[in-house]
Structure 1
Amino acid sequence: MHAHWDGLFGGYSSVFGAMLGADDRGGLASVPTDVTKAQILDPEAWAQESFDLAKQYAYAAPMRIRRTPVGLTRDDETNARSQAALAAARLANLINSALR
């Protein structure tokens, strides 16, 4: 499952591939972000938020062994893309703040 999420946003081997994944034709540039959350410049707050989201959505109670893989939904992909877009906006804001 970890490999699936790592590949969801590219795993690019070139700068061109990464730029294509970020453009506004279906890339992260087209994903709206929460402006208030994007203004948070504290990486510790980001880490806590990520930890809380992981506990809520990613970590589950132990399950019996399944013979079939767990299916991921369109909502899972949408949420992951939203978090990646938020991370990009936060990083851009942090860099802009540092360069002022």
Structure 2
Amino acid sequence: MLHCALIALGLSVSLVACGNHQSSAEAAVRDSLKDPESARFGEFYFNEKTGKGCLSVNAKNSMGGYTGDQQAYLRLKDSTWEVEGISEVSHESCRNTFADTTF
């Protein structure tokens, strides 16, 4: 029984860590947008080995219309997320060509 409780505790700690990464990544993306309050976030992926992540975002552009889902390319440096760009690619493409690559 104690073993199950420890496993559950370990899982909840890892989920909290993932949530903290996502919320701080969302804040970094908001800072890079023309209308930060309009941001709607979707899938988040973080590769701990490369320190890179992808975050789906849909936000208003300078014309006031929503852009549709785009991917924010993120890099974690010294515990701070940096937005390297936002592009109209699929979440899977961002993961394969950016977050999971070592260069």
TM-score, structure 1 normalization: 0.26
Would you tell me which structure has more helix in proportion to its own residues?
1
